[in-house]
Amino acid sequence: MTEKPVVRTRVAPSPTGDPHIGTACQALFDYVFAKSRGGQFVLRIEDTDRARSTPESEAKIFEALRWLGIPWDEGPDVGGPYGPYRQSERTEIYREHCRTLLDKGHAYRCFCAPERLETVRNKKRGPDERPGYDGHCRNLGEEEIRRRLDAGVPFVVRMRVPDEGECVFKDMLRNEVRIPWHNVDEQVLMKSDNFPTYHLANVVDDRLMRITHVIRGEEWISSTPKHLLLYEYFGWAPPEFCHLPLLRNPDKSKLSKRKNPTSILYYREAGFLPEAIVNYLGQMAYTLADGREMFSLADMVETFDPRRIGLGGPVFDIAKLTWLNGRYLRETMDAETLLARLREWKLSDDVWARILPLAQPRIEKLSDLVPLTAFFFADRPQYAAEALISKKLDGDATARLLRIALWEMEKVRDWNKETVQACVARIAEKEDLKLRDAVGPFFVALTGSPSSTPLFDTMAILGSDMTRRRLQYALDALAEAGHALSSKKTKEIEKDYRERYEATS
């Protein structure tokens, strides 16, 4: 009797920015699938992009998933038998596997300069041409390779892809997917910094970590042939593939922070409950057979049937999430529980201990306190859009300032009073504004009033996610008041921003 291998799934986020609601959704389905089959769920950190990955972002992923209550059996923080679970700690493994491919002739070194690749990429290609790389270094002679290696010419390793035939694979949720090999790019496997790309690392790790079911976003369908080919090159049996539809913005495009709050931590700050979010996410492209709309993670595990996963990309609708959240608040807790939850959230002595020193000098009666500090506990402060505008800064200038601030603040890694102050000061300087004038719109956007607790302390307490969300709200308010940043205008600002801010940073 052959024993069926234990079902193992994984979520493999890359720690570049805020923990994304889409990652949570994918993690949820991976988790539920594994658990419904008595299996294990693994968290792996894909930090092979060393330019963009940060430890702060990784920590936020743990925090967000833990807060949501989706536990992992193995991961960088808890360990496990197939570690390490952080790709940056597995580089030697990838290098070995890369050597194998090179030795077997399944991969080749490419010495092309980035500039050349740029040209190749931008060249308009005919319908019969392979996308991506043009195969320039595909058949270099031994000698030629040696010569460049000796000369220290930087190179990448690319996988070889057949010219003929097609890749046919079965997706758990779809019929056969057929993609002609001819349309598959000869992807880079090893970058010139000697780090692997997603494609190599992902296949090697899934194999070594005994992943049986790759449940991931639909955006990966077109890369699946590459992955399958790698399994074949290594002589490994591939796992099952299951591509989940992507969460969408209200305009149906892939869910993005441009158009929606996507940071899980923002939802926490705004007062959403983890069980409501998990429940709502479970409703994205999925329904329980009995039609229940309120269900827990355990309910989902108990009844999970992957065949009930729909394939249309669901729009992430905050209004409906809000309604569901309200049901949890009023139907699942008594006053005592609610109070405990409120304390767990923000109404704690710890938080008050940070707020009080800012508020005390500004009150004359005890009764002044709550009105003065209410905005700390709100999601969107209430104010008229005109309040954001001043003589020094008209509506358009304010919009520009806030837009730039949003970009700059994304880059603040360790969010505290000092870093945030430096950030705003830098913007004021670059925009040639006195700090005093620049700060006005921030006060209103963040606190709802031009006079309030000190800005930078306030920002530190609100936190990165909520601060940035409120700036976005302010931008929305300005847009409604006739100061919308068109996408053209935004592009102009962004170009200008990149030139003036990044060169010197």
The residues, any chain, with a CB within 8 Å of residue 119's CB and separated by 6 or more, are none
Binding flag, residue 132, RNA (CB under 7 A): yes
Q: Which of 285, 405, 424, 427 binds RNA (CB under 7 A)?
A: 285
Q: Measured from the CB atom, is 51 or 237 closer to RNA?
A: 51
Binding flag, residue 133, RNA (CB under 7 A): yes
Phi–psi pair at 129, nearest 5 degrees: -95, 145
Q: For the segment 74-113, give every residue that binds RNA (CB under 7 A).
A: 112-113
N residues, the chain: 505
How far apart (Å, rounded) are the C-alpha atoms in residues 203 and 100? 14
Instruction: Tell me the window of 227-235, 262-270, 319-327, 424-432 that interacts with RNA (CB under 7 A).
Output: 319-327
Binding flag, residue 332, RNA (CB under 7 A): no
Binding flag, residue 314, RNA (CB under 7 A): yes
Q: For the segment 16-75, give every residue that binds RNA (CB under 7 A).
A: 16, 46, 48-49, 52
Q: Measured from the CB atom, is 293 or 476 closer to RNA?
A: 293
Beta pairing, strands 188-190 & 156-159: antiparallel
* 8 A C-beta contact, residue 53 and residue 88: yes
Binding flag, residue 431, RNA (CB under 7 A): no
Structure tokens at 349: 């002595």
Binding flag, residue 148, RNA (CB under 7 A): no
Active site residues: 257
Least gap, CB of 283 to RNA (angstroms): 4
Least gap, CB of 240 to RNA (angstroms): 16
Binding flag, residue 180, RNA (CB under 7 A): yes
Chain centre distance of CA 190: 23
* 8 A C-beta contact, residue 179 and residue 24: no
Least gap, CB of 190 to RNA (angstroms): 8
Q: For the segment 219-278, give every residue that binds RNA (CB under 7 A).
A: 219-223, 246, 248, 250-254
Q: Measured from the CB atom, is 221 or 333 closer to RNA?
A: 221
Least gap, CB of 317 to RNA (angstroms): 4
Q: Which of 310, 370, 394, 476 binds RNA (CB under 7 A)?
A: 310
Binding flag, residue 193, RNA (CB under 7 A): yes
How far apart (Å, rounded) are the C-alpha atoms in residues 57 and 359? 32
Structure tokens at 168: 């046919």
Phi–psi pair at 452, nearest 5 degrees: -160, -160
Least gap, CB of 284 to RNA (angstroms): 5
Binding flag, residue 140, RNA (CB under 7 A): no
Q: List the one residue out of 341, 334, 72, 337 whose CA is nearest residue 209.
A: 72
Segments in 69-171 forming alpha helices (H): 91-104, 114-122, 142-150
How far apart (Å, rounded) are the C-alpha atoms in residues 378 and 375? 5
Helix 91-104 and helix 224-234, axial crossing angle in degrees, nearest 10: 80
Instruction: Tell me the window of 182-190, 345-353, 384-392, 435-443 that interacts with RNA (CB under 7 A).
Output: 182-190
What H or E segment, with its residue span, contains residue 421? helix 417-430
Structure tokens at 64: 């967000």
> Looking at this protein, which amino acid is placed at residue 53?
S
Q: Measured from the CB atom, is 205 or 465 closer to RNA?
A: 205
How far apart (Å, rounded) are the C-alpha atoms in residues 302 and 436? 58
Cis peptide bond N-terminal to 84, omega within 30: yes
Least gap, CB of 435 to RNA (angstroms): 35
Binding flag, residue 138, RNA (CB under 7 A): no
Q: For the segment 377-416, give every residue that binds RNA (CB under 7 A).
A: none
Instruction: Tell me the window of 144-152, 179-187, 347-355, 382-390 that interacts with RNA (CB under 7 A).
Output: 179-187
Q: List the one residue out of 400, 419, 395 whose CA is nearest residue 409.
A: 419
Contacts with RNA by CB under 7 A: the residue count is 73
Least gap, CB of 260 to RNA (angstroms): 12
Binding flag, residue 303, RNA (CB under 7 A): no
Q: Measured from the CB atom, is 246 or 406 closer to RNA?
A: 246
* 8 A C-beta contact, residue 461 and residue 351: yes
Binding flag, residue 320, RNA (CB under 7 A): yes
Q: List the one residue out of 353, 405, 398, 401 whose CA is nearest residue 376.
A: 353
Least gap, CB of 391 to RNA (angstroms): 37
Binding flag, residue 315, RNA (CB under 7 A): yes
Q: Measured from the CB atom, is 164 or 349 closer to RNA?
A: 164
